[in-house]
Chains A and B, each alone.
Chain A
Amino acid sequence: MKSFSNTYIFVFSTIMVVIVAALLSTAAMVLQPLQEKNIEIQKKRNILSSIRIENNAKTAEELYDKYISNSFVINAKTEEQESFNAFEIEMGLEMRNSPDKRSLPIFISSLDDGTKKYIVPVHGKGLWGPIYGFISLNDDFTTLYGAVFNHDDETPGLGAEINTDWFGAQFADKKIFNNNMEFISIDLVKGGADPESLNEVDGISGGTLTSNGLEKMLYDCLGSYQTYFKNQMKNNK
């Protein structure tokens, strides 16, 4: 084996690192617009899926414009904040703020049958990384209409099952307030939910930690909206 001087090793490593850095930063810059577009389309698809509108990457933008009629942002006192764009708010960043400083986006959708659905984002921690999604409510602000969840790093086949259709479909018609108008959120139950229960859904086999994270996410995020929901319910009466 040839021997190499220390100087050679330093020069070799320096050149290698520079080449690699140049290559990776070029790739990152060239691909970034495509990736950001994908993320934006993904967000629109998630919002559409939460109101049970079938969509794909091609139709998402058109359907989004068609069904999402309005969106606005509220603060903790449920006052509308006009300077914010609901689509651009990162729920993950908002949830890091203390509850009284959060800006909370709400999307309103008018479906073909004329009913209005209210869509709110949720964001929390899974086992390996963030999990997030959208929950849609009927205009009684208690009954869920649909739910869709997504994740960055959950284990395929286990925790990652949260973004399957069967998992999201369980949330339809569940209630997040009990009859006394107390906030009860949704429970993910290990070993099968009681079909009679108003707020239980099945957890995921092999994905207990992700399920726990999801349960906490729903409690925290939907909890942030509860004042707003309660006010709306009073207005409805």
Chain B
Amino acid sequence: MSDKEPLFSSKNVKLLTNPLNVDNPITVQVLGICSALAITVKLEPAVVMAISVMVVLAVSNVVISAIRKFIPPRIRIIVQLTVIATMVILVDQILKAFAYDVSKQLSVFVGLIITNCIIMGRLEAFAMINRPWTAFLDGIGNSAGYGLILIIVSFFRELLGSGEIFGYPVLEKLGIYNTGYENNGFMILPPMALIIIGIIIWVQRSRTKELIEEN
């Protein structure tokens, strides 16, 4: 460690903040769309999913980065998948033991974290060539970027689709239904998630200069 740099150098902070905006895994890299469609009907599962992905990605990133010099390149994808699968099973088991209700809500999607392209992508593209600490920051940053989009999408879908926020009937308490308003059943179907993500991408691209492509 001759070129010792501070833990939160500006380069490292970028690892955390870039994925929230200009390098967002969902809206810019368009990865991990599948789970973003499936579990964004309600806020609570979306938040737990975001936390689970964060744990899995951060730990897998650190583990892969720590053993990166010993991993034979020919089987590196298998090694990465083994680490991810191990982490996912651990998270699933822990949720079942300590947060049974939430684990029931997330049902299949915890297991499907294994197939989340963001995780494989970060391990292959970042953890294989960087030190554990930067890999950790990269993992936290990317999963936070993923979680942010999940939470935005599920906020709108839960509010407009079920009239609730975190299961609390906001619209009913505000008395909106008395004015003839009705929940939009279309919001709880997967196509609406894609449309909301599309709108987020549109807004983000038109507001961020770096993302505007020249034709």
Q: Does residue B94 face the partner (Cβ distance < 8 Å to A)?
A: yes
- 6 A-B contacts (beta carbon < 8 Å): A2-B73, A16-B82, A27-B89, A28-B93, A34-B97, A205-B188
- Which residue of chain B has its CB nearest to the CB of A151? B107
Looking across the interface, which residue of chain A has its beta carbon closest to that of B157?
A: A157
Cross-chain contact of A20 among B82, B100, B101 (Cβ < 8 A): B82
Contact indicator per residue, chain A 1-20, by CB within 8 Å of chain B (1) or not (0)? 11010001100110011001
The proximity string for B residues 152-188 relative to A, scoring 1 for CB distances below 8 Å and 0 otherwise, is 0000000000000000000000000000000001001
- Further 14 A-B residue pairs, CB within 8 A, beyond A4-B74, A12-B71, A31-B96: A2-B69, A12-B79, A16-B82, A27-B90, A34-B97, A57-B101, A151-B104, A152-B104, A155-B108, A156-B41, A156-B42, A156-B107, A206-B188, A206-B189
Query: Size class of B's contact patch?
Result: 20 to 34
Contact of A12 among B70, B90, B97 (CB under 8 A): B70
Classify chain A's interface size: 20 to 34
CB distance from B205 to the nearest CB of A (A): 28
Chain A residue numbers with a CB within 8 Å of B105 are 156, 160
Question: Which residues of B are in contact with A by a Cβ distance under 8 Å?
Answer: 38-39, 41-42, 45, 69-75, 78-79, 82, 86, 89-90, 93-94, 96-98, 100-101, 104-109, 185, 188-189
Contacts of B72 in A (CB 8 A): 4, 8-9, 12
In the bound assembly, the distance between CA atoms of A206 and B86 in angstroms comes to 33
A224 at the interface (CB under 8 A from B): no
A/B pair count, beta carbons within 8 Å: 85
Residues 22-54 (chain A) with a chain B CB within 8 angstroms: 23-24, 27-28, 31, 34-35, 38, 42
**When the two chains form their complex, are residues A157 and B41 in contact, meaning their CB atoms are under 8 A apart?**
yes
Closest CB in chain B relative to A153 CB, distance in Å: 5
Contact with B along A137-152 (1 / 0, CB 8 A): 0000000000000111
